[in-house]
Amino acid sequence: MNKKHNFSAGPSILPQEVFRQAADAVLDFNGSGLSILEVSHRSKDFVAVMEEARALSLDLMGLTGQGYQALFLQGGASMEFLRIPYNFMGMQGKAAYLDTGTWAAAAIKEAKVFGHTEIIASSKESNYNFIPKDYTIPADADYFHCTSNNTIFGTQMKSFPDSPVPMVCDMSSDIFSRQIDFSKFDLIYAGAQKNMGPAGVTLVVVKEDALGETGRKIPSILDYKQHIDKESMYNTPSVFAVYTSLLTLRWLNENGGIGAMEQRNNAKAELLYNEIDRNPLFTGTAATEDRSLMNATFVLNDIAHTENFDKMWKEAGISGLTGHRSVGGYRASMYNAMPIESVQVLVDVMKRLEITG
Amino acid sequence: MNKKHNFSAGPSILPQEVFRQAADAVLDFNGSGLSILEVSHRSKDFVAVMEEARALSLDLMGLTGQGYQALFLQGGASMEFLRIPYNFMGMQGKAAYLDTGTWAAAAIKEAKVFGHTEIIASSKESNYNFIPKDYTIPADADYFHCTSNNTIFGTQMKSFPDSPVPMVCDMSSDIFSRQIDFSKFDLIYAGAQKNMGPAGVTLVVVKEDALGETGRKIPSILDYKQHIDKESMYNTPSVFAVYTSLLTLRWLNENGGIGAMEQRNNAKAELLYNEIDRNPLFTGTAATEDRSLMNATFVLNDIAHTENFDKMWKEAGISGLTGHRSVGGYRASMYNAMPIESVQVLVDVMKRLEITG
């Protein structure tokens, strides 16, 4: 097997040992003689998987015993765009959103179906190349929603406001990648398919006492309280995706937890951004102070180099480097599981391009 | 690996070659050097998977070119309990539901959140041990909803009414198991985790011209039209579950399609029900004419045999035979992928119990 240096924005790289363990479980789960794909979600072995995944998520975030519950749901972040107003927006209420990218805007669109939704700051006019910082969260909003990392534009919130109202955050593309005071948030959600697992499962971490305030009649499948009461088994969960997420969380825990990941991610980002800034052929597209540690976006200053560069990185075994059509150029996604050696391969290609043209 | 005879009701047995192919793809998908868990859902190889899965689903059902679209969504049948009224129930409209079991009742509960929902017939009073047949579908309903197979109670609709209004059917537990005139339905849905794939993906087959009639503002993630327009990629799909479903659909196609499955399923069910009826130690719990080909429910006439019987089937390598708490006793689920040899192992145990007591 000729493994690639996978810079894909998501679904994206996971630890190699997680792939091996997941493949083994597809053939025989826990020595049961059954595939993980054919075991009942009510079986003792899988209930233990779900409970460990829920507990380990809270533990890694330092939220154990703080009144939070972790859930593994289906539908991706896009489903949470709907669940959040259902669970947090009052019948006559309003919501405050920070508009920092394509996914933030998609969350806003769905909130508007429900009620009054204010965009309190936006960087849309400059193609989302920075994070707005000068805004006030209305004290009469039911909640404030932000997006911690903007995969497409390569920007990341470096700090979070002290919100006067419940704070909800989409952390799909940087969860478990850096130390944050997670207790500032009433709800955190993340599609697994970047730092945590395969596509098909979403982690939701919610403060229990923030629920039940809206007066809305909530359909069961959208009701966080129902999912909490049923211990994340309201209906059949995405068994394999939950199991593979647990394997990734265990890997993360055994490799030093979020603190160690942050150090690795800082080193990788520094290596790449230093080259982007040093190399006269390239320019970064995001405001320097808001640069994402997860997704570095950059362009060639002279598009005449495109053919050569594309040929060179592909020959070096790199995949998934093409930028999103909203920005163009290149995007190097460097999630937790990416080794610094892969980033070095990319940097070496950039240096060679400078010499050979 | 000591493979079990897996009679689990779901998630449940899939073909052994599907497990092997799925495990291979977790290590290396299509010789790409990437795991199926880390490839972009927008990659050429995965888009081809999604398109083949959608086309093959329609083809197996004989619905190609009949105005239907196949979608692979997230959330399980429980999410469709919500999507269906959102997409089919008018603002002042009403829905008609057939109440044949726990899952039908759950669908009814969610429809009631939206509007007037009539239960036009129910077998609840007799613990759902038969399928009501004497009912009239109101011509002024927006749609009629039924459940083709009741996993928990072991009953199955052997025929479907000629509905004067759009007919919607939950086929989660018997899809692709028998020949049906699928063109009678406006919407068919099925959680994959019985006959089609692993948990975490739902097949929805919908007649396009039945949509857009309600006047409701539908949240994007719940809007079938959005999913059709985006070719089942409105948001990141459950990549691995879709791929494994495709592997199962290919297996089904290569092994003779639905017609051949029905023959095998008839043979398996006949073998087991004959033994239930012949063996004086056992009694079937479902009305004979409504017995499911997928899930056979039965009890011991004398619970004094329980310990022996449980020991014997476990020693024979059988798993997942314990009945649902709503019925008690035993439930043998015999989905497409179960070989008749496994059913014979169970029948042999039942015969041995008769001799040894």
The average pLDDT across A319-326 equals 95
Contacts of B80 in chain A (CB under 8 A): none
Q: What is the pLDDT of residues B289-347, one digit of tens each?
A: 999 999 999 999 999 999 999 999 999 999 999 999 999 999 999 999 999 999 999 99
Contact B173, A12 (CB under 8 A): no
CA B278 to chain A, closest CA, distance in angstroms equals 30
Q: Report whether B193 contacts B11 (CB < 8 A).
A: yes
CA–chain centroid gap for B62, Å, is 18
Q: Which fold has domain A257-356?
A: Aspartate Aminotransferase, domain 1 (3.90.1150)
Q: Which of B144, B175, B172, B141 lies closest to B160 in space, CA to CA?
A: B144
- Alpha-carbon distance of A175 to A190, in angstroms, equals 7
Q: In this complex, is the C-beta atom of B283 within 8 Å of any C-beta atom belonging to chain A?
A: no
pLDDT at A39: 96
pLDDT at B3: 79
**Is the pLDDT assigned to residue B1 strictly greater than 70?**
no
Helices (H), chain B: 16-27, 44-60, 76-88, 102-114, 224-229, 239-254, 257-278, 306-315, 340-356
Which of these is catalytic: B142, B174, B186, B194?
Answer: B194
Please say whether the beta carbons of B72 and A183 come within 8 A.
no
B75 with A79: Cβ contact below 8 A: yes
Chain A CB contacts of B239 under 8 Å are 11, 193, 198-200
Tens of pLDDT, residues B21-52: 999 999 999 999 999 999 999 999 999 999 99
pLDDT in tens, B210-261: 999 999 999 999 999 999 999 999 999 999 999 999 999 999 999 999 999 9
Q: Which CATH number fits domain B16-254: 3.40.50.720, 3.40.50.880, 3.10.20.30, 3.40.640.10?
A: 3.40.640.10
What CATH class has B256-356?
alpha beta
**Which chain A residues touch B221 with a CB distance below 8 Å?**
75, 78-79, 81-82, 110
CA distance B40 to A251: 22
In angstroms, the CA B7 to CA A40 distance is: 10
pLDDT 10s digits, B67-115: 999 999 999 999 999 999 999 999 999 999 999 999 999 999 999 999 9
The pLDDT of residue A135 is above 90: yes
A21-65 pLDDT, tens digit each? 999 999 999 999 999 999 999 999 999 999 999 999 999 999 999
Token pair for residue A39?
């075991």
**pLDDT 10s digits, A157-184:** 999 999 999 999 999 999 999 999 999 9
- B154 contacts B130 by C-beta, under 8 angstroms: no
Q: For residue A329, is pLDDT > 70?
A: yes
pLDDT digits (tens, 9 = 90+) for A196-249: 999 999 999 999 999 999 999 999 999 999 999 999 999 999 999 999 999 999
Are B77 and B172 spatial neighbours (Cβ–Cβ below 8 Å)?
yes
Question: With contacts defined as CB-CB under 8 Å, which chain B residues touch A236?
Answer: 10-11, 76, 191, 193, 199
> What's the first-to-final CA gap in chain B, in angstroms?
31
Distance set, CA B297 to CA B200, B276, B283 (Å): 26, 10, 9
What is the rounded average pLDDT for all residues in chain B? 97
Q: Which of A113, A221, A317 sits opposite B78 (nearest CB)?
A: A221
Q: How far is B60 from chain A (nearest CA, A)?
A: 23
Answer yes or no: B44 catalytic: no
**Which amino acid is it at B113?**
V
B187 touches B169 (CB < 8 A): yes
Is A236 at the interface with chain B, CB within 8 A? yes
Residue A158: active-site member = no
Tell me how far apart the alpha carbons of residues B207 and B227 are, in angstroms, rounded to a whole number.
Answer: 13
Residues ≥6 apart with Cβ < 8 Å to B87: B211, B214, B216, B218, B222, B223, B224
ipTM of the complex in this document:
0.97
Q: Which residue has the tokens 């035993």?
A: B330
Q: Does A20 touch chain B (CB under 8 A)?
A: yes
Residue A207 has φ and ψ, to the nearest 5°, of -80, 120
| C-alpha distance from B343 to closest chain A C-alpha (Å) | 17
Specify the pLDDT at position B2: 53
DSSP B228-292: HHTTT-SS---HHHHHHHHHHHHHHHHTTHHHHHHHHHHHHHHHHHHHHHH-TTEEE-S-GGGB-
Quote the tokens at residue B176: 């692709």
Task: Map out the domains of chain B as residue ranges.
Answer: 16-254, 256-356
The per-residue pLDDT for range B110-129, each reduced to its tens digit, is 999 999 999 999 999 999 99
Question: Beta-carbon neighbour count of residue A245 at 10 Å?
Answer: 28
Question: Is A325 in the B-facing interface, judged by CB distances under 8 Å?
Answer: no
Interface contact A239, partner B, CB < 8 A? yes
Distance separating alpha carbons of residues B288 and B266, to the nearest angstrom: 14
Give the closest-approach CA distance of B114 to chain A in angstroms.
9
Q: Which residues of A touch B244 (CB under 8 A)?
A: 37
For helices B306-315 and B340-356, angle between their N-to-C axes, nearest 10 degrees: 140
Check CB contact of B233 with chain A, cutoff 8 Å.
no
Cβ-based neighbour number of residue B14 at 10 Å: 29
pLDDT at residue A2, rounded to an integer: 53
Residue A119: band (very low, low, confident or very high) from pLDDT cuts 50, 70, 90 = very high
Across the range A106-119, mean pLDDT stands at 96
Reply yes or no on whether the pLDDT at A1 is more than 50.
no
Confirm whether B103 is a catalytic residue.
yes
Give contacts of B81 with chain A, Cβ < 8 Å: 220-221
Task: Please tell me which of the candidates B33, B220, B319 has its beta carbon nearest to residue A34.
Answer: B319
CA distance A68 to chain B (A): 23
What's the pLDDT tens digit per position in B275-295?
999 999 999 999 999 999 999
Closest-CA residue to B336 (of B45, B42, B60, B39): B60
Three-class SS of A267-281: HHHHHHHHHHHHCCC
Contacts of A10 in chain B (CB under 8 A): 40, 236
Which of A4, A82, A198 is nearest residue B33 as measured by Cβ atoms?
A: A4
Task: Report the residue of B112, B238, B331 to disrupt the A interface, i.e. the one with the largest count of A CBs within 10 Å.
Answer: B238
Residue A166 is given by DSSP the state -
pLDDT at residue B262 tops 60: yes
